Chain A
Amino acid sequence: MRRDEFLGALAALAVPGAFGRGQGTPPSLLVPMDGRQSNHLKAYGLTYRSLQRGATAEWLLNYRAGSFLLEDTDRVRREAALDGIGVEPLTGAALVAVRGEMALANMESVLLEKAPRVAVYVPSGAAPWDDAVTMALQYAGIEYDTIWDPEVLAGGLGDYEWLHLHHEDFTGQYSKFFLTFRTAPWLADMVDRNQRTARALGLPHVPALKARVARTIRDFVDGGGFLFAMCTATETLDLALAGEDVDIAASYGDGTPMDPEAAQRMAWDRALAFTGARLELSPQTATFSDIDGHQVNNPARRQPLGSFRLFDFSAKVDPVPTMLVQCHRSVIPDFYGLTTSFRRDRLKPGVTVLADEPGAPWAKYIHGESGEGTWTFLGGHDPEDPQHQIGDPPTDLSLHTGSPGYRLILNNVLFPAAKKRELKT
């Protein structure tokens, strides 16, 4: 879907007609998302499950930090009580007052109609605790399926509206941990699993497998899918797409060293977000290119963490980015990942920057369209574990119920609920 079409669809979904409602409408529950909410993360699950049961909901963009309006039922109240989610019953008159306030301000109501079918790209059997999105989905109580290379290449993405990628390395180099951690059992498992999968699918090596998967994911987006990626999946997906015909993998990936002319041979027109990046040539340095501004694993180039700032958008004119930045905090402490941020000078024209670090040459959170679909990239690994290391204990989200960083992730899950049309794929 092109941007203007999508905006047209959203304009139709926004509910100015509902402003006439109030008297005689079913009772509503407001789920405030500002500082008075006691569990922001579970509020998304409450809304999602309500949609899943066939109810509709409204996302009140910029109203009390992106509140939700749900049908007031015993089931919703019970779930809210069990999960400690703050809700406020609204009378018809109070609802009219809310809508009146929204009409006069930079706010908009977007109708949520359908719980999106969610797929997370991880090998089967992987524990959820090393992936911020699966942790968020799990904690909020949002159902998801896991999907991996065989299912992706067999057309399995067609069953889903929303796909999440986290720290997969689509260049097929095992996150470039091979030389450092080659004796670690988890890396041996990863290498073995990927190599077996590549062989089973008739592909010569893991980089070829991942390139094929990357292309299929791009086709999913082009066909109208919603893609959300974090950490190193953002950067390596684009490197795999742009480098599909180039040897960009070290010898431990495909048996041959990287093409020394690889950077010159990249076809950036195939990538989603980035262009013109310089590739990291050393097989020992666990960075992939100069797309990442922070270079956490490159001591000579590593940049300290700061804070990033969410941009304000016009809710009535730009509802899509507005949805993606709904949060009760506008400045959020940064967090490292193998890919932490995205250098502005490596972004393609037309990419929307949703958040950046003031004064720094990188963006943190970006969004764009490709074909009929959209993609959103958030740098970093875990918003509540800023310096996550391999082997660190998992984050317990019950201790971070108001995490602004995790809210950004969950905005992305509900964002496709606002899209009315069925996917073409």
Chain B
Amino acid sequence: MSPARSALFVCALAVPGALAAQVPNTPPSGFDLERGGRIDAAARAYQDALTSSPGRIADLLGLERVLIRLDRLDEVMPFVARAIEAAPGQEVAREIAFRVAGTLFGADSAYAAASRWSDAFPDSRNPYRVHARWLVARGDVAVALGVLDAGEARTGRSMDEFRAHALVTAGDWPAAARAWRRAVRGNAGFASPAAANLGAAPTEVRAAVLEALGSDRNAAASELRAEVLVRWGRVEEAWVALDAGLPGERGAAAGMLRRFAERLARMNTREAGRARGLALERLAERVGDDEAAALRLEAAQVYAGAGYPDAARRVLDRRASGARSQDAEAAATLIRVMIAAGRLDEAEAQYRERRDRIGPDDRGLLRAALAWARLRSGDLDRAERVLEADSSVASLGVRGWIAAYRGELEDARDLLTAAGPAAATRGDASRRAGFLVLLERVEARRSPALGAALFTLERGDSVAAADRLSAAARALRARAGRADVLVLAADVAMATARPADAERWYREALDAEPDGPTAPHAEYALAVMLHERGRPVEARAQLEHLIIAHGSSAVVPKARRLLDTVRGVVP
């Protein structure tokens, strides 16, 4: 390093220290002291700041806060007076003066402070609003309403929203509703606070509130009525109220309908779904063709999701046979709605008729859905026919299950393996993976008895399935799937409230293969059953054996938790 560069480096090192030494220690602000809980010191800091800058409203507010906590509010008064003088255009200083006067000296002083404030700001509604709110908090609602009347007369501006709040506090809900109605008609922006306010009306006054809200066709008033009804859970009435008040102007009406539909999208009731579907249909009548088609599709989906398949079909029929009959999504939705409604012949006919308009992905999914529906109805042959020569992943999966239910276990293994992990839902994927694990354990190439038992289970006859599964298991070799199928039989028995059978089969499974992959699950399930049946000593022994014998099993953490419950050391 040259001498010159070396000297520069030394300077650079020295300067920050020198600067630091020159900076005076800045005392902490009142706000920092207040946050740190040093209230006395904060008060002094705020006072110092206001002495040098009397118009700093943030410090004045801080001083008011800390003096209240110190029970020395009177000390703020000279600072308020100086702030009003230093910043005559600041209404906040007047508001603080009002609060101090009211808190320290009561109603007369509050009135005087409010009068001085309104004299200084003759156009402002704030003095009346703050004074009225203060009176309402004291229970003087009648006086508060008088203050608001005076304010309205003097400023020439409506005080209805403040009046409504005061009336609600007094419990006069119908009068509050009338005030809100006037406020909303004057300014539609008040609809939301009005609905929130009136939404809290007790059941016994709701009829009077509705009457007070009126039934005129003013759009803002109709929207308020609808929103209040939604908040009361009377969604269909809300739709009627909204629909009746829709304005002729398309844009305004569309806005109301959109807000209503979005509001209902957050509700999960059947009624909300229906009302939302109706709103979307009505909205579709007020927008352009492209958006209308999308809205009708959305309406159909909403109807279908809410359990109104006929309404969904009506909308889709109109859409699918209309000008945009090539719309693949509409056709696919229609077929899905029919499958969900169990109208399989009709769905199959629709599929055949419209299959060419539907994209290949949707076609595969629809075929699989139809095949599953046929399969669950007990018709394996027809299920297979629906799949045609389809070799999509979805179809391979269904074919695998069909093979399994026929007892062709090796074919089932191959098909399900070829289908891979992808499935329509995560639930389907994990179910398929779990079933593949079972098939891998069962070494037999075919077992019609096991296939029939599994098919019985698929069709929902759990009681018969459990017996058939246990019988099929006994035909398997001890370490070639017997334990696995017995555990499945026991799980089904547990789910159908047959604990004695479940216990017997779990124990048989553990005898057949005490160190097999299903042993931890069998031991855990057995412990759960013993615990639930009031046999804690046996449950505890089973859990301790499980944790010690299968320490690395994924079941162990929940076994430990159950052990804590059995011991009574957790609630």
Contacts and interface: CB of A to CB of B under 8 A. Distances in A.
Contacts of B564: 139, 398
Contact of A84 (B544, B557, B571): B557
B1 interface: no
Interface string B61-91: 0000000110000000000000000000000
Contacts of B547: 81-82
Interface residues of A, number: 23
Given A81-B551, A359-B36, A361-B38, A139 B563 contact: no
A303 B567 CA distance: 39
Interface in A95-133: 129
A82 B36 contact: no
A233 B563 CA distance: 33
Interface string B531-557: 000000000000010011001000011
B544 A303 contact: no
A138 interface: yes
A394 interface: yes
A367 to B, nearest CB: 23
Contacts of A129: 571
A7 interface: no
Nearest to B38: A361
A78 B557 contact: no
Interface string A353-379: 000000111100000000000000000
Contacts of A359: 36
Contacts of A398: 560-561, 564, 570
Contacts of A360: 36-37
Nearest to A293: B37
A397 B570 contact: yes
B569 interface: yes
Nearest to A128: B571
A356 to B, nearest CB: 12
B68 A300 contact: yes
Contacts, number: 44
A141 B560 CA distance: 14
A82 B570 contact: no
Nearest to A359: B36
A385 interface: no
Nearest to B540: A82
Interface in A75-94: 78, 81-84
Nearest to A397: B570
A276 B548 CA distance: 57
A36 interface: no
A300 B570 contact: no
A396 interface: yes
Interface in B419-438: none
Nearest to A78: B548
Contacts of B548: 78, 81-82
A82 B563 contact: yes
A395 B571 CA distance: 8
B45 to A, nearest CB: 15
Nearest to B562: A398
Nearest to B36: A359
Nearest to B71: A300
Given A82-B547, A303-B37, A361-B38, A396 B571 contact: yes
A83 B560 contact: yes
A396 B571 CA distance: 6
A301 interface: yes
A301 B69 contact: yes
A173 B561 CA distance: 39
B37 A84 contact: no
Contacts of B570: 139, 396-398
A152 B317 CA distance: 83
A361 B564 CA distance: 40
A396 B569 CA distance: 9
Contacts of B561: 398
Nearest to B551: A81
Interface centre among B69, B564, B567 (most CB of A within 10 A): B564
A394 B565 CA distance: 14
A139 B569 contact: yes
Contacts of A362: 37
Contacts of A394: 571
A79 to B, nearest CB: 10
A141 B569 contact: yes
Contacts of B557: 84
Interface string A48-89: 000000000000000000000000000000100111100000
A138 B569 contact: yes
Contacts of A84: 556-557, 560
A293 B36 CA distance: 11
B544 A82 contact: yes
A248 to B, nearest CB: 21
B493 to A, nearest CB: 29
Contacts of A141: 567, 569
A353 to B, nearest CB: 16
Interface string B337-374: 00000000000000000000000000000000000000
Contacts of A138: 568-569
A82 B38 CA distance: 50
A282 to B, nearest CB: 13
Given A81-B548, A83-B560, A141-B569, A300 B69 contact: yes
A360 B69 CA distance: 17
Contacts of B544: 82
A93 B415 CA distance: 58
Interface string A246-265: 00000000000000000000
A395 B37 CA distance: 30
Interface in B74-133: none
Contacts of B68: 300
B555 to A, nearest CB: 13
Interface string B28-70: 0000000011100000000000000000000000000000110
Interface in B381-416: none
Contacts of B38: 361
A81 B567 CA distance: 16
A82 B560 contact: yes
Interface string A328-347: 00000000000000000000
A396 B68 CA distance: 41
A301 B556 CA distance: 48
Contacts of B569: 138-139, 141, 397
Interface in A381-397: 393-397
Contacts of A397: 569-570
Interface centre among B544, B557, B561, B571 (most CB of A within 10 A): B571
7 contacts: A84-B556, A361-B37, A396-B571, A397-B569, A397-B570, A398-B560, A398-B564
Given A82-B544, A82-B563, 20 more contacts: A78-B548, A81-B551, A82-B547, A82-B548, A83-B560, A84-B556, A138-B568, A138-B569, A300-B68, A300-B69, A303-B37, A359-B36, A360-B36, A360-B37, A361-B37, A361-B38, A362-B37, A397-B570, A398-B561, A398-B564
Interface of A: 78, 81-84, 129, 138-139, 141, 293, 300-301, 303, 359-362, 393-398
Q: Which 4 A-B pairs have the closest CB atoms?
A: A394-B571, A138-B569, A129-B571, A139-B569
